[in-house]
Amino acid sequence: MEKLKNFGVWFCAILLLLSSCSKAQKSISEEKEMLKDKNVLIVYLSRTKNTKTIADIIHQNIGGTLIELALQNPYPKDYKAIVDQVAKENETNFLPPLKTKIENIEKYDVIFLGFPTWGMQLPPPMKSFLSRNNFKGKTIIPFNTNAGYGIGSSFETVKELSPESRILEGFTIKGGVERDGILFVMEGKKKVEAEKKVKEWLNKIGMSK
């Protein structure tokens, strides 16, 4: 009797596992169908070109329109100077004016947002971009490079600044460490590794082709 009871528990567990896998596969399939034939925009901010490389990899895999975010008044090249300036901008909630203007942004259904982590926060230029455009009803997908400290509050800020958008799971990877003079690192084996991880992520969120 005890063996029969244990078999019943085991059998139920297997059924539950199979059901969960089936739902997961169905969810990915539905995601792909939902995003099929959508207009894609990839906007990125990149100081040392690491985020740019991830943006390029995404673009190579799914196509769409690729645009780099530029400022009317570029940040200083000196690392300490930009750290001080960004800290002040974050303290005062200053939104730097953007040079980049995207015409007919309303035509895009899916928007990838790429940026580095600055001061454990979303960079002010990306805050400007989110604050000055209407993304109601759009699908937003963040991606990030950082110096090893992670995304900080950046992904949460993306959600806060686009409350009427659908936010998909973001991507993050370690890039350079500008503080230590380590700038562009997305080349060679590191780039191959990044390409593999980006493809896995795109497949996971239903954006692979």
- CATH number for the domain including 196? 3.40.50.360
Note the pLDDT tens digit of each residue in 107-139.
Answer: 999 999 999 999 999 999 999 999 999 999 999
Residue whose C-alpha is closest to residue 73's, from 85, 55, 88: 85
Does a structural domain hold residue 97? Answer: yes
Domain extent, residue 144, equals 40-204
Q: What is the pLDDT of residue 186?
A: 98
Q: 14-33 b/e with 16+ CB inside 10 Å = b? A: eeeeeeeeeeeeeeeeebee
Does a structural domain hold residue 19? Answer: no
Q: What is the pLDDT of residue 135?
A: 96
**Residue whose structure tokens are 């979303």:** 122
What does the mean pLDDT of the chain come to?
A: 89
Asked if 130 contacts 101 with a C-beta cutoff of 8 angstroms, the reply is no
